[in-house]
Amino acid sequence: MISSVLGEVDGTLAAPGRRLHRLGAIPGDGIGPEVLDVALRCLEAASRLFDFELQTTHYDLGAARYLRTGELVPDDELAAIGGEDAVLLGAVGDPEVPPGILERGLVLRLRTAFDLAVNVRPGRLLPNVPTVLKDLAPERLDLVVLRENTEGMYVSAGSRAHGGTPWETAVQLATNSRHAIERIAAFGFRLARLRRKRLTLCHKTNILVEAGRLWEQTVKEVAEEYPDVTLDYVHVDACCVHLLERPERFDVIVTDNLFGDIVSDLVAVVQGGMGLAPSANLNVDGTAPSLFEPIHGSAPDIAGRGWANPAGAVFSAAMCLSHLGELDAAAALEAATADVVAQLPAMGGAAMGCSTSEVGDRIIERLQGWANGAVPPLGTFTSSVAPAASGRRAGGEVETVPDRAAPLAKTETS
């Protein structure tokens, strides 16, 4: 089911001289509609302030649709979504739907259909945001996790045998292709060039020998094209330890689907909680729309109470703007959201001191301030998608992220 919200766009054509971006919006379940509504309001405000136009189409997909009709993503709606310039997702999940149905039938189908090969999960500790790590200064956590998004353990390859007997057996297979590894590695090296020129491959080559060898061999081959970027390797378990003990060790982390899922969630907790963390699912070839979403779940227990922090959704919207080439608007929206988050007494719940919608109001007010002054540079979140977009402002200069993290004393293999 599709509904259009044209905002300031009259029909499908932008006003002369103004850029038009067509967005697909999937509010989803639980707190998804609440946080996505804030993100869309911030995008509309940005479009007015930075002179571009948006045409937003809402798609009724998620648990409620499935429970009502049994449908996940009908083919005609999948085709319609494929015609958008980008897609924003709120959150998906409901306890009434058994695990795996929405994840495979909706989330993984979108990733596969649109070849969303690179999952970008930036991690940055914002000023005045509490973290689980004692005495962690913001300049020590500024990194990007790149998760291969179409293969690994998530391809639904496996089988079960001997059901109902003591010998019942399950086999789950992982797939790893040179093509997918080359693609995410090349993206990672291009991103590292824009940051601190360090890339770490994260895997488990001492146990997952065949897959690990393919990953290590392929990434090393790609590295030859980027001699200015330092490459090192770390086992996934050691990576988790380093993220807790000295996260400044990392700049860009490249890893497979399963390890990336786990490591990036750990980064989100360290940076202040899942509610603050944005993500992008990128089609790096430009053949289909990329998808942007906060990484938190649907949190049905607090849905409708106004307790959800929309920062992750708004940061994701800022990444979307960067991907679409609206770099000034993207940078201003990231900075405005960070400013507001820094003033919150808590990162969610009743203790946040204002409702989900009111956080959005504050972000829009701060965004107006940035638009009327000097626009800041792209931050960690908005610069993380630059290799998949133009990576340039209107003036033509290449964007880089400020070097906030402490330098590495040496390169290690763990």
Residue 130: how many CB atoms within 10 A of its CB? 12
Residues in the chain: 414
Q: What is the pLDDT of residue 374?
A: 87
Q: What pLDDT is recorded for position 16?
A: 62
In a domain, 53, yes or no: yes
Residue 146 pLDDT grade (very low, low, confident, very high; cuts 50, 70, 90):
very high
pLDDT in tens, 349-373: 999 999 999 999 999 999 999 988 8
Select from 277, 298, 357 the least CA-distant residue to 32. Answer: 298
Range of the domain at 66: 2-388
Q: How confident is the model at residue 389 (pLDDT cuts 50, 70, 90)?
A: very low
What would the pLDDT profile of 69-123 be if each residue is shown by its tens digit? 999 999 999 999 999 999 999 999 999 999 989 999 999 999 999 999 999 999 9
The whole-number pLDDT of residue 386 equals 78
CA distance 268 to 178: 29
Q: Is residue 179 one of the residues assigned to a domain? A: yes
Strand duo 152-161 + 169-175: pairing: antiparallel
**Per-residue confidence at 156, pLDDT binned at 50, 70, 90?**
confident
Which one-letter amino acid corresponds to residue 196?
Answer: R
Tell me if 269 is assigned to some domain: yes
Output the pLDDT for position 17: 66
Q: Which residues pair with 145 in a beta bridge?
A: 121, 253
Quote the pTM value.
0.90
pLDDT digits (tens, 9 = 90+) for 19-73: 999 999 999 999 999 999 999 999 999 999 999 999 999 999 999 999 999 999 9
Q: What is the pLDDT of residue 3?
A: 55
Q: Let me know if residue 273 belongs to a domain.
A: yes
Is 401 inside any structural domain? no
Rounded mean pLDDT, 119-134: 95
Active site residues: 154, 204, 237, 261, 265
Residue 402 is assigned to a structural domain of this protein: no
**According to the model, what pLDDT value does residue 2 have?**
60
pLDDT of residue 86: 97
pLDDT at 388: 63
Q: Nearest 10 degrees: CA dihedral of 270, 271, 273, 275?
A: -150
pLDDT higher than 90, residue 341? yes
In a domain, 412, yes or no: no
Closest Cα to residue 268, out of 260, 118, 249, 196? 260
Q: Which two tokens stand for residue 202?
A: 């994260």
Is residue 400 in some structural domain?
no
- Please give the tally of structural domains in the chain: 1
Q: Alpha helices of 128-225 — where are they, by DSSP H?
A: 178-194, 209-223
Q: What is the pLDDT of residues 164-223, one digit of tens each?
A: 999 999 998 999 999 999 999 999 999 999 999 999 999 999 999 999 999 999 999 999
The domain spanning residue 25 has which CATH number? 3.40.718.10
Give the number of other Cβ atoms within 10 Å of residue 309's Cβ.
Answer: 26
